[in-house]
Amino acid sequence: MDTLVFGLKNNNLIPDILPESWQPTVNLVVSFGAKILRDGDILAPDVVKPEPTVRVEHADTNATYTLILTDPDAPSRTDPKFGDWRHWVQPGVRVQEDTSTVITEDPHTPYLAPSPGSGTSFHRYLIMLVQEPENFNPAPMGSKFVARRSWKAYEWIKENGGNVVGAAWFLSRNAEDPY
């Protein structure tokens, strides 16, 4: 998990989203279809089109979690005026003994696949697993396209009493831009 924190710091996801003191307590194994994510992978938009599957190692199987996918680089890393872009907020995630996850609630924000704009270079994407407090009941969020922008993920997590216990990240850029 030290390499995870190193990568997050090296790509400024710590401190741009997570605080300097953040440390994971679980390991996330994220898959987009057959592609198993390794932190820092560069993934084309067609690879991340399906909603990811997440396995969680070392989790409290009595706890309930929320999965979040956010992009701090909307519309670009040099002009992040719409970051954090809220791609997915899925509460009611339960971790089974075999590390698989079961969804027990409707999403607060349905999954919207990353699709960086042409000419905006690489975007950083952060997947966070948030342990929910008892009586977790955040206010509804709009899922319309423009309602997803300029959302501060970590502030929302703290306001609702959550605790980020795990993370994974990747980079993506527009399919028309050269890799």
Task: Determine whether 65 is exposed, middle or buried from the number of CB atoms within 10 Å of its CB (0-12, 13-18, 19+).
Answer: buried
List, for residues 79-119, the tens digit of each pLDDT value: 999 989 999 999 999 999 999 989 888 999 999 999 998 98
Q: Within 13 Å and on the Cβ side, how many CA atoms surround 152? A: 9
Instruction: Read off the pLDDT of residues 1-45 as tens digits, 9 standing for 90 and up.
Output: 589 999 999 999 999 999 999 999 999 999 999 999 999 999 999
Q: How far apart are CA 4 and CA 15, in angstroms?
A: 14
- pLDDT of 147 > 90? The answer is no
Place of tokens 């070392």: 58
Stretch among 39-48, 69-78, 80-89, 139-148 having the lowest mean pLDDT: 139-148
Q: Is the pTM of this model over 0.85?
A: yes
Task: Reply yes or no on whether the pLDDT at 142 is more than 80.
Answer: no
All structural domains of the chain? 2-114+136-172 (3.90.280.10)
Please give the full DSSP string across the chain, using - where no structure is assigned: -HHHHHHHHHTTHHHHTS-TT---SSEEEEEETTEEP-TTEE--TTTT-SPPEEEEES--TTSEEEEEEEETTSS-SS--TTPSEEEEEEEEEEE-TTS-EEE-S--SB------PPTT---EEEEEEEEEPPTT--PPP---SGGGGSS--HHHHHHHTT-EEEEEEEEEE--TTS--
Q: How many CB atoms within 10 Å of residue 40? A: 17
Average model confidence (pLDDT) for the chain?
93
pLDDT band at 145 (very low <50, low <70, confident <90, very high): confident
